[in-house]
Amino acid sequence: MPETIDRTTPADFAYAHRGVILLIVLVGQFMAVIDNNIVAIALPTITRAFHVPLGQSQWIATAYIITIIATVLIFGTLSSTLGKSRLFITGLLLFVASSFACGLAGSLPLLVAARVVQGIGAAMLLSISMAIIMQVFPPHERGMAMGYVTATIGLGLIIGPALGGILVDTFGWPFIFFVNVPIGLVLLVPALHYLRLDDAGGGTSRLDWGGIVLLIVLMAGMALALNELSNPPVNEALFTGYAGFCLAALAMFVARERTAAHPLIDLSLVGNRSFVLPGASLVLYITATFILLLILPFYFEGVMGWRPTQVGLMAFVMPVAMIASAPASGRAYDRFPSKNYPAAGVAGMGFSFLLCGYGFATADVAVIVVSLVLAGLCRSVFQGPNAIDIMGALPQDKAGIASSILVTLQDFGIMLGISAGTILLVFQLDSIGYAGAILDAGPAILPAIFGNAMYAGGVICFAAAAFTYRR
């Protein structure tokens, strides 16, 4: 029987082995997602190891996510030419090799460069993961497959911080990257055998190369401007130059996408308020969430003196509460649908972030835990209905476009959250004349500063609620 299966068409072979293919895609997606948050736990340790300020070390996280934002749409477009199988395997190899390079990096510039390459590999994996699943599963099984995707992302949110803390404490920070190497190499074996998708076309006439270049330039300009803000004293002339460069690139990108025969991003979506407002709310929600995720390890290591393993366990609280409450939230939404579920959820997160800020300012761990549980519960109320609003705002023939832009919006929010968290901390420290390492500032200075950062996160959540509220 195995010989018979191997002689069938690629479509028949893929269908016969769809369970294995799903597992391959999920593991690849898990590795790419977990590297978004596993670094946050190690960032204080890496900052200390390289003797650099937080404004510089944040590039370790920012470079990865900016690269994904700038390239995920590119690889999604290229997949029809190169083939999904080839792109996935190439991305996996690149991700594994760059993970090894990250662990070996002996300086911050080398680590950031390796993270850029790692981001390219992750973008290859993420850009076509959903498309592979949609191709190998029939319509009546796709809901089940997508459920596994959601569970995998949630698992990554849970395992990332705890795994990062254990690895940093036990082996050292390089192993948060080395751990990808054996997993990726083992995954490569079934990927080479089972990913046989007959989907490679020819030609690149539909690729918007002008839009690609301008998008990369735009992301680079934005990263440079945000990084300049993250390193006071700010050089005003340099920041103005970066900001002007970024605005010019944005104007050129919009002009290009309006006239391109096959644009990278369909700008007609900008005129759809039912799509834009929930999308803006999503970006703000993720921005506020990643402010918390960035500053959490610095708070507990700098104020409480906790080890990375302990910090990782604390980071468990919010995603566990979210996953535990998600089924009940989903059933409640199905039984009692309301157009303002997302607004209520993200407003609740705003309140929980204000409570967390109070817990940070008073060094009250019990209050912090309660706030994180509440934030997790409210995330489950917001996230699902918000995604339904975004996807449901467009006709079915634009579902693929909406899905790609949804990934881009999420990653854009992550980038803004990392940068905003850094700026909120370093500007407050600079305003009181402190120029040393953030972890050395001590309990006398840090609690109020971290509290203010969380108050800002709460305000951002309330702004997200205003965007998604409907009368």
Is pLDDT at 416 greater than 60 in this prediction? yes
**Stretch (H or E) spanning 174:** none
User: What would the mean pLDDT of 91-118 be, rounded to a whole number?
Assistant: 94
User: What would the mean pLDDT of 418-440 be, rounded to a whole number?
Assistant: 84
Q: What is the pLDDT of residue 96?
A: 95
- Neighbouring C-alpha atoms within 13 Å toward the C-beta of 322: 28
Is pLDDT at 141 greater than 80 in this prediction? no
User: What would the mean pLDDT of 319-326 be, rounded to a whole number?
Assistant: 79
Residue 87 structure tokens: 């792109």
Q: What is the pLDDT of residues 221-273, one digit of tens each?
A: 888 888 787 777 778 888 899 889 889 998 998 888 888 877 777 777 777 78
Mean pLDDT lowest for which of 133-142, 169-178, 280-289, 451-460? 133-142
Distance between CA atoms of residues 422 and 417, nearest Å: 8
Q: What is the pLDDT of residue 63?
A: 87
Q: What is the pLDDT of residue 202?
A: 52
Express as a percent the part of the chain with pLDDT over 90: 25
Mean pLDDT lowest for which of 275-284, 359-368, 405-414? 405-414
**Token pair 């803006």 in the structure block, residue:** 280
Q: Which pLDDT band, with edges at 50, 70 and 90, does 1 fall under?
A: very low
Q: What is the pLDDT of residue 114?
A: 96
Q: What is the pLDDT of residue 331?
A: 73
CB-based contacts of 214-221 (< 8 A; 24+ apart in sequence): 214/249, 214/252, 214/253, 214/256, 215/70, 215/73, 215/74, 215/253, 215/264, 216/70, 216/71, 217/249, 218/246, 218/249, 218/250, 218/253, 219/66, 219/69, 219/70, 220/66, 220/70, 221/245, 221/246, 221/249
User: What would the mean pLDDT of 185-196 be, rounded to a whole number?
Assistant: 89
User: What would the mean pLDDT of 122-137 be, rounded to a whole number?
Assistant: 80
User: What would the mean pLDDT of 292-310 be, rounded to a whole number?
Assistant: 87
Q: What is the pLDDT of residue 159?
A: 76
Q: Which pLDDT band, with edges at 50, 70 and 90, does 151 fall under?
A: low
Q: What is the pLDDT of residue 199?
A: 59
Residue 130 or 60, more confident: 60
Q: Which pLDDT band, with edges at 50, 70 and 90, does 3 fall under?
A: very low
Mean pLDDT lowest for which of 69-78, 427-436, 441-450? 69-78
Q: Which pLDDT band, with edges at 50, 70 and 90, does 214 fall under?
A: confident
Mean pLDDT lowest for which of 117-131, 133-147, 334-348? 133-147
Distance between CA atoms of residues 6 and 182, nearest Å: 28
Helix ranges restricted to H, 105-138? 108-136
Q: What is the pLDDT of residue 454?
A: 96
Is pLDDT at 94 greater than 70 in this prediction? yes
Handedness of CA 338, 340, 346, 348 (dihedral sign): negative
Residue 284 or 61, more confident: 284
Q: Which pLDDT band, with edges at 50, 70 and 90, does 6 fall under?
A: very low
Q: What is the pLDDT of residue 129?
A: 78
Distance between CA atoms of residues 103 and 61, nearest Å: 14
Distance between CA atoms of residues 116 and 68, nearest Å: 9
User: What would the mean pLDDT of 168-191 be, rounded to a whole number?
Assistant: 92
Q: What is the pLDDT of residue 182?
A: 94
Mean pLDDT lowest for which of 25-34, 108-117, 148-157, 391-400? 391-400
Q: What is the pLDDT of residue 403?
A: 57
User: What would the mean pLDDT of 442-470 be, rounded to a whole number?
Assistant: 92
Distance between CA atoms of residues 192 and 198, nearest Å: 14
Q: Which pLDDT band, with edges at 50, 70 and 90, does 363 fall under?
A: very high
Distance between CA atoms of residues 162 and 158, nearest Å: 7
The answer to whether 359 and 374 are in contact (CB under 8 A) is no
Residue 202 or 155, more confident: 155
Is pLDDT at 279 greater than 60 in this prediction? yes
Distance between CA atoms of residues 292 and 80, nearest Å: 38
Average per-residue pLDDT for the chain: 82
Is pLDDT at 343 greater than 80 in this prediction? yes
Is pLDDT at 99 greater than 60 in this prediction? yes
Q: What is the pLDDT of residue 414?
A: 84
Mean pLDDT lowest for which of 206-215, 279-288, 360-369, 438-447? 206-215
